[in-house]
Amino acid sequence: MDQTKVDVLREKLSQASHITVLSGAGMSTESGIPDFRSTGGLWTEDTSRMEAMSRSYFLSNPHQFWPKFKELFQMKMSGEYEPNSGHTFLASLEQQGKHVDIFTQNIDGLHKKAGSQHVYELHGSIQTATCPSCQAVYDLPYLLKEEVPVCQRVTSDGSTCGRVLKTDVVLFGDMVKHLDQVETSLQKTDMLLVMGTSLEVAPARYIPEDAAHDPSIFMVMMNLSETEFDPLFDLVFHERIGDLVKAL
């Protein structure tokens, strides 16, 4: 690891008061969560899974959707994963008095579990599901208890709603969330940290291009492998995030 680059990053972090973070699967793999898109990831094993994880499939086959969803995303394990040193590092920056906006492509909820306060889950969260009819929200323990979770709310006529819940994970065909907040954050930020993402998925992949138009934003890439966007960044680290934050 290049110690000079680490020292530069440490100095820039100490000077920054507003930090914008974009995190991806590489942030969570160090907590034991599979990377769905990298070489050998679950999406590459069976592309038909992408169809099953779509909004259209859920609407057409809600009872068949949930067993497939739970298997793919290892729902039984979802409550057992813990934040790693990368997550706690970002939370510690907040504890130092910095404003840290975290825009994550991950659905695992680990940034919030680590204590970060300003977390925007671009692809939603596996921790909850919502009734398409009455918008009642249900937590992970209920989703795990029921093979096909349905809404238990009692309606005004005394009957049970009974609609199959829709996961709060953004499915193929759903709109990505919080893009307006990304633009707002970039207008105020001193630093963009991209952590654990190869920037292959739109629209998150365009965030560094937007930031690069503002020369006042110091841009840092932390990803195990090279990306096509590396030349946009002021500092690039191809290291495990845990190793890098330990060096910091």
Cβ atoms within 10 Å, residue 235? 16
Q: Which CATH architecture has domain 1-33+83-123+175-248?
A: 3-Layer(aba) Sandwich (3.40)
> Binding residue per annotation — 161?
yes
Q: Is the pLDDT of residue 132 over 80?
A: yes
β partners of residue 193? 21, 220
Give mean pLDDT, residues 45-66: 83
Q: Are 91 and 115 in contact (CB under 8 A)?
A: yes
131 is in an annotated binding site: yes
Q: What is the pLDDT of residue 44?
A: 44
Domain boundaries, the chain: 1-33+83-123+175-248, 37-80+126-169
Q: Could you tell me which residues are beta bridge partners of residue 146?
A: none
pLDDT at 47: 47
> In this structure, are strands 218-222 and 235-237 parallel, antiparallel, or unpaired?
parallel
Among 87, 111, 123, 178, the one annotated catalytic: 123
Residue 229 one-letter amino acid:
F
Considering the chain, what is the average pLDDT of its residues?
90
Is the per-residue pLDDT at 122 higher than 50? yes
The answer on pLDDT for 77 being more than 70 is no
* pTM for this model (two decimals): 0.88
Residue 131 to residue 152: CA distance in whole angstroms: 9
pLDDT in tens, 105-119: 999 899 999 999 999
Token pair recorded at residue 242: 């845990």
Fold of 37-80+126-169: SIR2/SIRT2 'Small Domain' (3.30.1600)
Is 111 considered catalytic here?
no
131 three-state secondary structure: coil
The answer to whether 143 is a known ligand-binding residue is no
